[in-house]
Structure 1
Amino acid sequence: MALVDYPSSDEDESVAVEDLPCSSLKRKRDETSSDLPPLPSKFHDLYASTTRVSTRDDPSLHGGRKRVTPHVEGNWPTHLYIEWYPSAAEYVPLTSLISTLKDKCSLIGAEGGIRSFLISDLGAPLPLHISLSRPIAFATEQKGAFVDSLQRAIKSSGVRPFNITLAGLDWVANFEKTRWFLVLRLRRPDFDGLNKLLHLSNKVVQEYGQPALYTKIPLNTKNSTGKSPSKKFPSTLWAGMEDLSDAFHISIAWTLTSPDPDLLKLTKAIATDHMKGLDQIQIEIGELKSKVGNAVTNIPLPKAVSVGKGLFGS
């Protein structure tokens, strides 16, 4: 991760971070974090990429992970997603959940190398994601037009900012079954914002010849569970939209081995205890992100007309 040097506002506090003991760093964060406002979304995008250390797929550089989409020179890996930076208070129950699972797994010999998405190797909190696309790739001449098309689709959709809540804990595999993810399931929000954003994302990526997410059959038939859509969407914009509410999730940990029955049983028991606190979390959704290569574009959801103002702001 690239770092930016900032001049110190106090010469007396010019001690290098690496020279401070971990306990001092933790205490300093605890003393100040609760008083600081959250950083703007675009700040985190400055550090959304890591330095390339190899020109080929080398799983040893990524904890054993293998590249899902082979790298092709001239193609830009692309991902559409919603980003969530949990607050300090929200990180506590999430961290506790993963720590409890890993501790109990080690006792029964079933941990299987569970790794957290919550904290980086340096101890920094990491953002979590709700995916709205599969890993896809665009040629150089397509990527600009694709982002423009997505921005227009979101702007004209009428999908307003909304909140989502957590519904449960589960394990899911990626498409290739090379990794398994510990995920937080999501409740269907008011006005069906997640299904609508997925529907728009799928429509745009398919217009550019890319595969849709969570569906392998035409959008106007059945969903990924084999059931007919449970809700009709009369608007032309939402024609053919499926109810894929059961598919949305936030990954909080991962492993390279398929969870065995003992791990699944243990996960279910831990979820019963920990979800009592997690189900109170309200996640505000106000934008989605398009990451093409290392360039992140924030696409805000259109907001309602401000109170006290007319349609044209007068």
Structure 2
Amino acid sequence: MALVDYSSSSDEDPNATGEVLPVPSLKRKRDEPSPDLPPLPSKFHDLYASTTRVSTRDDPSLHGGRKRVTPHIEGNWPTHIYVEWYPSTIEYFPLTNLISSLRDKTVHEGAECRIHSFLTSDLGAPLPLHISLSRPIGFATEHKDAFVDSLQRAINFSSIRPFSISLSGLDWVANFEKTRWFLVLRTRRPELDGLNKLLHLSNRIVQEYGQPALYTSRFLQTKRKPPARKLPYTDWDDMEDVSDSFHISIAWTLTSPNEELLKLTRTVTTDYVEKLDRIQVQIREIKSKVGNVVTSIPLPNSVIVGKGLFEG
């Protein structure tokens, strides 16, 4: 069956996949994974961020029952800002086993209740995970390049340095339309509040281009521009703390988790808490995906002195 990509149908994430095949069994014990191979450059993965579109209509049967929630508009470029994470081998296996533990115990619930993994492709290859820094948004052709330039400029002149985050357990969350539920890894607030700062910058830029913000009460339901301000890149006085909202999706299902699944999730969390506590997600760049084009924006290692974010 041909692979299908609806570039404008992302619910909340750039790596949402359809039904996946089971991870091939390995002779080596899962508790003793082999040493990591050197990671591929980030830009290598960006080249293959999307497959070729071979269908122009919404066909849920090709995507494990998922339905398009963002309608396709001709000439509109679907856009998403996010942090990407490639789990190492020693991190990948506990996450795979965790999902398998839940899936094996709910296999009798039916196709709609099936748990689908974000960790592997249809061919069983490991996939990157992500932390969203925007809602699914869209730009007309004449605005998309200027938007990316503005985002790059904001990050380059910010005071946000590379940082790491740790995990705080499992949870189930729904998308905005409640058409899918996601098994997520909650994150702890990092030192120097890097995630809130990245989201703060992202929200200000998308709002300047008439797009809605993510995880914030300000201007969430409107696409009007926020009040113009001349703030420097390092001014966080009006930043909101939405640390409890950040998460990494690792699996999904079409139906709301019942009490049995919630109980199983709590049990699995207890079983894997030590392994989850050892995971450190390194954040050195953010990514902007406009259509099928991915732009990597590294976090600066030093301060760039210049004009403020909204100065001419």
TM-score by length of 2: 0.80
Pairs within 5 Å for 1:1-314: 34=35, 36-106=37-107, 112-217=113-218, 237-304=235-302
Query: Shift of the alpha carbon at 1:289?
Result: 0.1
With over 3 angstroms needed to count, the CA separation of the structure-2 counterparts of 1:248 and 1:35, relative to structure 1, is: closer
Report what 1:223 is aligned to.
Answer: none
CA distance in 2, matches of 1:294, 1:205: 19
Could you say if the C-alpha distance between residues 274 and 108 of structure 1 is closer, same or farther in structure 2, counting changes exceeding 3 Å? farther
- Tell me how many residue pairs correspond in the alignment: 270
Contact kept in structure 1, 2:216 and 2:240, CA below 8 Å: no
| Corresponding letter in the other structure for 2:298 | P
- Preserved contact between residue 78 and residue 291 of structure 1 (Cα < 8 Å): yes
* Cα contact 2:119–2:128 (8 A) shared by 1: yes
Greater radius of gyration (CA): 1
Judged with a 3 Å threshold, the aligned counterparts in structure 2 of structure 1 residues 260 and 98 are, in CA distance, closer, same or farther, namely same
SS at match of 1:237: coil
Q: Secondary structure at the match of 1:34?
A: coil
* One-letter identity of the residue aligned with 1:40: P
How many angstroms apart in 1 are the aligned matches of 2:136 and 2:206? 11
Contact 1:102 1:111 in 2 (8 A): no
Deviations 1:171-200 (A, max 9, x none): 000000000000000000000000000000
1:181–1:255 contact (8 Å) kept in structure 2 = yes
Whole-angstrom CA distance in 1 between matches of 2:84 and 2:233:
28
Distance 1:251 1:106, change over 3 A: same
2:157 corresponds to which letter in structure 1? S
* Mapped partners of 1:179, 1:278: distance in 2: 24
Gaps of 5+ in 2: 4-22, 221-231, 306-312
Q: 1:129 to 1:173 in 2, by over 3 A?
A: same
Residue identity over aligned pairs, in percent, reads 73
Please, what is the CA RMSD of the aligned residues? 2.7
Which residue of structure 2 lines up, in the alignment, with residue 9 of structure 1? none
Look up the match of 2:224: none
> 1:102–1:240: structure 2 CA closer, same or farther, 3 Å change rule?
same
Deviation of residue 123 (structure 1)?
0.7
Deviation (angstroms), 1:236? 6.7
C-alpha offsets along residues 38-88 of structure 1, whole Å, 9 cap, x if unaligned?
111001001100111211222122111111211100000000000000011
Report how far residue 109 of structure 1 moved: 7.4
Deviation for aligned residue 1:33: 7.1
**54-63 or 142-151: which moved more?**
54-63
Cα gap change, 1:132/1:179 in structure 2, threshold over 3 Å: closer, same or farther? same
